[in-house]
């Protein structure tokens, strides 16, 4: 009984620590509105907030590496990353596990003989993915990774490709999930539940990335700058940030004093 109690306590501690890590990662995922995004979507989540912070980037990679190391002999033998942002997270995870990384590329980008997914719809456009023959075999266990899952179209295309090689799909994984777009549900319901047992693991739900993470520049800022305009723009941006920080009201001294009074009274009550 005591052994089980400690196991449950450790599990709760692990969940608590993981939840804290996820919240920290969410704080490094800025988003842009449609006027400053490469696609016409309400929120474009920018993973550069992770890659430009080495500690956070390392934390993300470690979460995935530790997750798959814990599977032991049932762990993946290949990491497959989607073109293009899956190429950012996939290689360091594969290197941490000391297993190969394979590329799922947009059609027309790979040499040799390739297997293609056929066309599919994403939240942005119509795409088609491919894997080079020889990259994966029927003996492999594959984790597929991307930066984000929305409609599930890209993930499903990769899953179908890996399945065509006869390999086992260990998991589909992503950094960010948009739950309201039902991507995971679509994977599990595809072809009468053909992939209903495929594990789908994501780190951060978009619900955790609030309006305070909007990174849109000041109104009127052009979307694209010529090289000779960059220095001038950076000067304007610095001035804007300086004005913004100095325009915030400073709390009156009495606020701090008023807050201190009850604390002193509480201390006295304890002493009494």
Sequence-distant (≥ 6) Cβ neighbours of residue 189 within 8 angstroms: 196
The H-assigned helical ranges of the chain are 2-26, 48-51, 54-69, 86-97, 153-164, 183-193, 230-246, 253-271
Q: Is 244 a catalytic residue?
A: no
Q: Is 128 a catalytic residue?
A: no
Nearest-angstrom CA–CA distance, 103 and 100: 10
* Catalytic-role residue among 17, 35, 119, 128: 119
Nearest-angstrom CA–CA distance, 80 and 46: 21
* Catalytic-role residue among 85, 163, 168, 189: 85
**How many degrees, rounded to 5, is the angle at CA 257 between CA 255 and CA 263?**
110
**How many degrees, rounded to 5, is the angle at CA 33 between CA 128 and CA 243?**
145
So which residues are the catalytic ones? 85, 119
């Amino acid at each position: 009984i005591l052994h089980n109690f400690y196991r449950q306590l450790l599990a709760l501690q692990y969940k608590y620590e993981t939840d804290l890590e996820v919240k920290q990662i969410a704080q490094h995922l800025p988003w842009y509105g449609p006027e400053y995004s490469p696609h016409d979507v309400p929120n474009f989540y920018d993973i550069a907030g992770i890659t430009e912070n080495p500690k956070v980037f390392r934390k993300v990679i470690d979460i995935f590496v530790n997750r798959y190391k814990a599977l032991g002999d049932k762990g993946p033998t290949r990491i497959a990353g989607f073109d293009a942002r899956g190429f950012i997270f996939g290689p360091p995870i594969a290197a941490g596990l000391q297993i190969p990384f394979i590329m799922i590329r947009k059609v027309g980008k790979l040499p040799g003989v390739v297997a293609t997914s056929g066309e599919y719809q994403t939240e942005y456009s119509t795409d088609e993915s491919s894997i080079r023959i020889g990259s994966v075999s029927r003996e492999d266990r594959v984790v597929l990774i991307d930066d984000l899952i929305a409609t599930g179209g890209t993930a499903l295309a990769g899953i179908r490709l890996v399945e065509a090689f006869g390999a086992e799909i260990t998991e589909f994984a992503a950094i960010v999930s948009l739950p309201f777009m039902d991507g995971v549900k679509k994977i599990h319901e595809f072809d009468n539940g053909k992939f209903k047992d495929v594990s789908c693991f994501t780190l951060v739900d978009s619900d955790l990335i609030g309006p305070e993470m909007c990174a849109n520049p000041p109104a009127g800022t052009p979307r694209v700058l010529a090289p000779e305009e960059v220095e001038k723009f950076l000067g304007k941006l610095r001035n804007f940030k300086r004005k913004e920080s100095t325009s915030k009201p400073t709390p009156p001294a009495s606020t701090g004093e008023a807050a201190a009074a009850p604390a002193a009274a509480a201390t006295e009550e304890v002493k009494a």
